[in-house]
Amino acid sequence: MIGLAKTTMKEIYVSIVKKELLEYFLELLSDSLRYVEFVFTYRKGKSKVSLFGERETINQSALIVKSLAKMFNQSSILNSDGFYVHNLKLIQQIGSKIISLQSISTVLNHLDVQSTVKDQDLVSKASMQEVQKILSSMHDLIQETPLGVRTQVMKRILATVSYCTNLSPSFVLDKGLELEYFKQQKNTISINYNPEKSIRELVEKLSKESTQTEYLSSRDKDAELERVLFRE
């Protein structure tokens, strides 16, 4: 007869520097602790996380809680230079792993929000909540990736350019093929050049008024075709 693993409990005390962000921290904690039960309590400026589960899983989860709290605090307050520092692991926790730090930095700089990538950190004037909004929008764009695109690099490029230009991923793909940044290979589509170079140049070229006009015209034609088909 196989015995059931014994459930243990462990309490972790963490300090969250911004009380107004406790609810947000709790959301991230819920996403991170998938293999244990936990209770979060806050009293007199201190946060306590009570973990319940198997001993080995509890110990691993305790490390996750401490690491998450450290990264969360780092992302919540400005450093001495007036920037937020968002760690890659935290960004992957709140968004898709397909989206790179460089892609987020490109989007933020396009929005005139100063940002740069240093090692595993995104150093930016954008707060964690602002970064999360961008990640959420880019995740939605990734869901619109045309079927012929299978690699994560291509999905990331299309989502980044699409976000910066307000063009659909399928339109960006067509223009990228036309301008020979992408190439068709059997049943998939790949990139011809360095990803970051392609993103920068495509954003610049596809932001032109003529391209925007072409896109709006193509959308109008598609909408008219749908209306005709619906009437039939």
pLDDT digits (tens, 9 = 90+) for 176-191: 999 999 998 888 899 9
> Residue 122 burial by CB count (10 A; 0-12/13-18/19+): exposed, middle or buried?
buried
Which of 3.40.1670.10, 3.30.70.600, 3.10.20.440, 3.40.190.10 would CATH assign to domain 7-77? 3.30.70.600
Helices of type H across the chain: 22-32, 55-76, 88-94, 101-110, 128-143, 152-165, 169-178, 195-206, 209-231
CB atoms near residue 68 (< 10 Å)? 22
Instruction: Report how far residue 61's alpha carbon sits from residue 208's, in angstroms, rounded to the nearest whole number.
Output: 49
pTM of structure: 0.80
The amino acid present at 9, given as its one-letter code, is: M
Rg (CA), the chain: 22
Instruction: Report how far residue 86's alpha carbon sits from residue 102's, in angstroms, rounded to the nearest whole number.
Output: 12
Q: Where in the chain is the domain with CATH 3.30.70.600?
A: 7-77
pLDDT at 71: 92
Tens digit of each residue's pLDDT (9 = 90 or more) over 3-59: 445 788 999 999 988 888 888 899 889 888 888 999 999 887 789 999 999 988 999
- For 140-174, give one letter per residue: b (16+ CB within 10 A) or e: ebbeebbeebeeeebbbbbbbbbbbbebbbbbbbb
